[in-house]
Amino acid sequence: MQPQFLILGAGITGAALAHRLARQGAGVTILDAGLPASAASGRSFGWVNASFFLSDAHFHLRHAAMQAHQALAIELGLDPQPQGCLWYEETGVDFDHRHAALVRLGYPLRLLDRAAIAALEPHLANPPDRALFFPTEQAVDLVQLTGLLLAAATAGGGQLITGTPALALTEAQGKVTGIRTAQGAIVADQVILACGTGTPALLAPLGLRFAMLHRPGAIFRSQPVPPLLSHIIAAPAQELRQDAQGHLIAPASAAHQSESAETVANPTVLLADTLARLRGMFPRADIQPDRLILAERPVPGDGLPVIGPVLPGLSMAVMHSGATLAPHVANLLSAELLGQGKDPALTPFRPARFFA
């Protein structure tokens, strides 16, 4: 008899885990305090990449996750073709260092001059002298992807419960046995925390202090405009992409993946400043704001993912960026929890480093 899993969090990570566990015949319940992808997953830039990394092991995990995204897209009937990224977020010596590091790691890339950049993005004003082109990077609609994964999980027998906060983890004889909600207890053989910034509050009553960084973020979305971009742009002052509906999607701060700010500026100022930068990049386009979306990103205290068992009956998968990592982490962690072996790729990212 397959074990019963209870996944806390119906964002991209929880949805990917639910899909993979259900596909392997496990009993799955997914519980969320709100609606699917209503927190960080639904407020993400959605950039799937390995050009940002904090260690070689982190790079390899992210790079494998990019391939997992491709396989998942084919499985779900989505377009697997990545649009690629033009990256010139750093300049000078820092650009050279990033280029050399990615070449050393075998990352697919091309070094482009100004003419080649202008040919790829003809609407972009003042293209830089050089950029790196990452052909395998892509942006994904995490709301859509989360919905498809949850639909597949429930079609396979999984249960989705929304609008129901987990009040506390329950224990018996040294093992986590489920959760307590206002509507009653839910029992499971294994609980998986995929609830991002809600994780520390659930672990604290067990005597476990899980440190997370305070990393608020803001994403600008424009009203639809005619096609301006064919690729993701990572410029020094602005990251940017255009979605299928024509909206320009842009973090309201530069280099948002590595940003360390603990506060968000006045939203009105953020919106105006981002709009000004976009109009500077595309002065001939009529770019009008649609909305500014605020979110709290789930960043563990050392910036790296936290994946695997915590206590008997309890595991966790908390990370930034779930947009990149979720499909691969779901593959590895579900295999492990179903007794199919531990992958050494997860060794540097185990929860024990926080709780030892």
What is residue 84's predicted lDDT score, i.e. its pLDDT?
A: 98
Please provide the DSSP assignment of 131-147 as one string.
Answer: EEEETT-EE--HHHHHH
CA distance linking residue 164 with residue 161, whole number of Å: 7
Strand partners, 47: 139
What is residue 79's predicted lDDT score, i.e. its pLDDT?
A: 87
What is residue 29's predicted lDDT score, i.e. its pLDDT?
A: 98
Per residue, the 3-state secondary structure of 207-248, as one string, reads CCCCCEEEEEEEEEEECCCCCCCCCEEECCCCEEEECCCCCE
CA 122 to chain centre: 30
Could you read off the pLDDT of 277-307 as tens digits, one per residue? 999 999 999 999 999 999 889 999 999 999 9
Domains of the chain: 4-46+142-211+302-355 (3.50.50.60), 85-135+214-298 (3.30.9.10)
CA angle 269, 274, 277 (to 5 degrees): 130
CA distance linking residue 286 with residue 225, whole number of Å: 7
CA distance linking residue 167 with residue 136, whole number of Å: 41
Q: What predicted TM-score, i.e. pTM, was given to this entire model? A: 0.95
* pLDDT tens track, the chain, 356 positions: 678 999 999 999 999 999 999 999 999 999 999 999 999 999 999 999 999 999 999 999 999 999 999 999 999 999 889 999 999 999 999 999 999 999 999 999 999 999 999 999 999 999 999 999 999 999 999 999 999 999 999 999 999 999 999 999 999 999 999 999 999 999 999 999 999 999 999 999 999 999 999 888 899 999 999 999 999 999 999 999 999 999 999 998 755 555 555 666 788 899 999 999 999 999 999 999 999 999 889 999 999 999 999 999 999 999 999 999 999 999 999 999 999 999 999 999 999 999 97
What is residue 80's predicted lDDT score, i.e. its pLDDT?
A: 86
Listed in sequence order, the residues at least 6 apart from 285 whose beta carbon sits closer than 8 Å to its beta carbon are: 123, 225, 226, 228, 279
What is residue 260's predicted lDDT score, i.e. its pLDDT?
A: 57
